[in-house]
């Protein structure tokens, strides 16, 4: 590939139409696309030492090596220049010195991010901005130095994209609040949060902690790098593009101001990224809290609150991180929200579809991945009966797609006989004109492809994963 000189750093030319390439890795949820920066117990968390000379710490050889390894692990598609993750190491071996020098001199210019729109359940899209691999590498190096500094400032009620914290921690904190009598919530919806962050306010907040102006300038360049949409450049005067390592950290830094204000006012709350619940003991108190906090969020942080979706509600009527709440004997408990179940079933339908072109082994592998991942996330819920029902439905889907794969009468007859069905009945069912889904529920397939046989074939069950929680 041709190399050109730009801003004292040699970059690959944009491949013709390169920013129009399809993305696979980035079509996951935001948390998977970004990858939270890692911290270890050996990280230096002395804030005073790190405020001055931060750029030197960012450009430290060990820090850059860690950043490269993290970008390599995260994988992901290339940005506007078309460079892929496996091309980063050869690039750094050849150009690392020039890259580091341009960062020291303040001459480095990030490339625009590549716009990718991910469909959402409501028919709308989530906008991701995929940085180039080199820009991801630099962002990761920045995060590894800044994250330990800001971790000491973050609220104990914040759980998203932080070391040793998770959605499960947020949900358990919600349960604690409910059990202690906080049964009404302000369910706050920040409209297109990452797309509408006020950059000037964010830079102001960053500057209160980061005293190295070179780092502030570099972060500002990333914020203002712009975006390529359909081959056209668009400016980015507001927002923090989702898709790079910096965006979760910057998002948390901005909303930490809201966290501190809520704590100052004595409120119980839980925040995971931009998903915020404020807990109150009565509906009246919740309405009063909403009326008081809105002016702060909109007037001080310059964020947009979606008035239509923001609500005051009883805890049993809200959806949070895919779960819903209920109270049993005074204790806050968790259920899997119906929308999460529908989304899961849609995924299973996609994998077990009759015409998706998957082979048997590929389908089984993918199905097991989805089942294991989904159950691992929803293992906190009281869902024994729901899980049993879903397992029955999944087994029927497996029988249906197997019956479809057998297709020809002789193949069906042969396989039914092999699985223990008597010859006369096997021939009768091999010639059936019933639809695939109806046949999947027939006694014949329930015997021939029993749950035990399906399990022996290597298919996981939700019940098995749920019991192992």
Mean pLDDT of 44-71: 80
Mean pLDDT of 1-29: 32
pTM of the entire structure? 0.84
User: Which of 13-17, 189-193, 198-202, 330-334 has the lowest average pLDDT?
Assistant: 13-17
Mean pLDDT of 152-178: 97
Mean pLDDT of 179-197: 96
Quick check: 37 pLDDT over 70? Answer: no
Mean of all residue pLDDT scores within the chain? 88
* Closest C-alpha among 31, 27, 29 to residue 252: 31
pLDDT in tens, 362-413: 999 999 999 999 999 999 999 999 999 999 999 999 999 999 989 899 999 9
* 294 or 44, greater pLDDT: 294
Q: Which of the four pLDDT bands, split at 50, 70 and 90, describes residue 52?
A: low
8 Å CB contact between 86 and 93: no
* Closest C-alpha among 293, 317, 179, 197 to residue 250: 197
pLDDT in tens, 273-308: 999 999 999 999 999 999 999 999 999 999 999 999
Mean pLDDT of 152-180: 97
Q: What is the reported pLDDT for 396? A: 95
pLDDT in tens, 352-365: 987 777 888 999 99
> Long-range contacts: 361-364, Cβ < 8 Å, 24+?
363/401, 364/457, 364/458, 364/459
CA distance 26 to 116: 8
Q: What is the reported pLDDT for 353? A: 87
Q: What is the reported pLDDT for 120? A: 76
Q: Which of the four pLDDT bands, split at 50, 70 and 90, describes residue 124?
A: confident
pLDDT in tens, 221-264: 999 999 999 889 999 999 998 899 999 999 999 999 999 999 99
pLDDT in tens, 60-110: 999 999 999 999 999 989 999 999 999 999 999 999 999 999 999 999 999
Which percentage of the chain shows pLDDT scores above 90?
A: 81
Mean pLDDT of 141-154: 98
Q: Which of the four pLDDT bands, split at 50, 70 and 90, describes residue 24?
A: very low
Q: What is the reported pLDDT for 14? A: 30
* 352 or 14, greater pLDDT: 352
3-state DSSP of 58-109: HCCHHHHHHHHHHHHHHCCCCCCCCCCHHHHHHHHHHHHHHHHHHHHCCCCC
Q: Which of the four pLDDT bands, split at 50, 70 and 90, describes residue 468?
A: confident
8 Å CB contact between 46 and 145: no
Q: What is the reported pLDDT for 172? A: 98
Residue carrying the six token digits 């004292």: 8
């Amino acid at each position: 590939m041709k190399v050109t000189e730009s801003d004292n750093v040699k970059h690959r030319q944009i491949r013709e139409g390169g920013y129009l390439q399809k993305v696979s890795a980035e079509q996951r949820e935001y948390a998977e696309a970004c990858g939270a920066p890692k911290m270890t117990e050996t990280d230096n968390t002395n804030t005073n030492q790190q405020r001055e000379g931060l750029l030197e710490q960012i450009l430290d050889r060990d820090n850059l090596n860690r950043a490269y390894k993290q970008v390599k692990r995260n994988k992901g598609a290339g940005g506007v220049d078309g460079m892929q993750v496996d091309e980063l190491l050869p690039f750094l071996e050849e150009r690392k010195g020039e890259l580091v020098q341009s960062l020291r001199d303040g001459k480095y210019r990030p490339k625009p991010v590549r716009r990718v729109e991910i469909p959402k359940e409501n028919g709308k899209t989530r906008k991701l901005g995929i940085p180039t691999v080199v820009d991801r590498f630099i962002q990761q190096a920045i995060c590894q130095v800044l994250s330990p500094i800001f971790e000491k400032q973050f609220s104990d009620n914040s759980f998203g994209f932080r070391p040793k914290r998770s959605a499960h921690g947020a949900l358990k904190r919600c349960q604690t609040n409910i059990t202690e009598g906080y049964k009404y919530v302000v369910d706050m919806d920040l409209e297109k949060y990452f797309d509408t962050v006020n950059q000037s306010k964010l830079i102001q907040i960053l500057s209160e902690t980061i005293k190295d102006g070179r780092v502030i300038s570099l972060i500002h360049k990333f914020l203002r790098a712009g975006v390529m949409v359909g081959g056209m450049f668009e400016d980015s005067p507001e927002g923090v593009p989702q898709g790079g390592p910096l965006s979760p950290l910057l998002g948390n830094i901005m909303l930490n101001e809201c966290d501190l204000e809520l704590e100052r006012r004595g409120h119980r709350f839980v925040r995971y990224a931009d998903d915020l619940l404020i807990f109150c003991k009565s509906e009246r108190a919740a309405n009063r809290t909403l009326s008081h906090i809105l002016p702060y969020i909109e007037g001080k942080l310059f964020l947009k609150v979606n008035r239509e979706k923001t609500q005051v509600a009883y805890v049993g009527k809200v959806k949070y991180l895919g779960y819903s709440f209920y109270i049993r004997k005074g204790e806050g408990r968790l259920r899997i929200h119906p929308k999460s179940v529908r989304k899961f079933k849609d995924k299973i339908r996609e994998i077990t579809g009759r015409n998706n072109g998957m082979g048997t082994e590929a389908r089984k592998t993918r199905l097991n991945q989805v089942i294991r991942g989904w159950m691992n996330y929803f293992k906190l819920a009281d869902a024994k009966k729901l899980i049993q029902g879903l397992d029955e439905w999944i087994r029927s889907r497996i029988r249906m797609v197997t019956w479809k794969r057998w297709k020809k009468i002789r193949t069906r007859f042969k396989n039914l006989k092999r699985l223990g069905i008597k010859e006369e009945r096997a021939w009768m069912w091999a010639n059936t004109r019933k639809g695939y889904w109806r046949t999947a529920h027939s006694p014949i397939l329930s015997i021939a492809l029993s749950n035990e046989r399906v399990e022996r074939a290597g298919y996981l069950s939700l019940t098995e994963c749920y019991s192992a929680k």
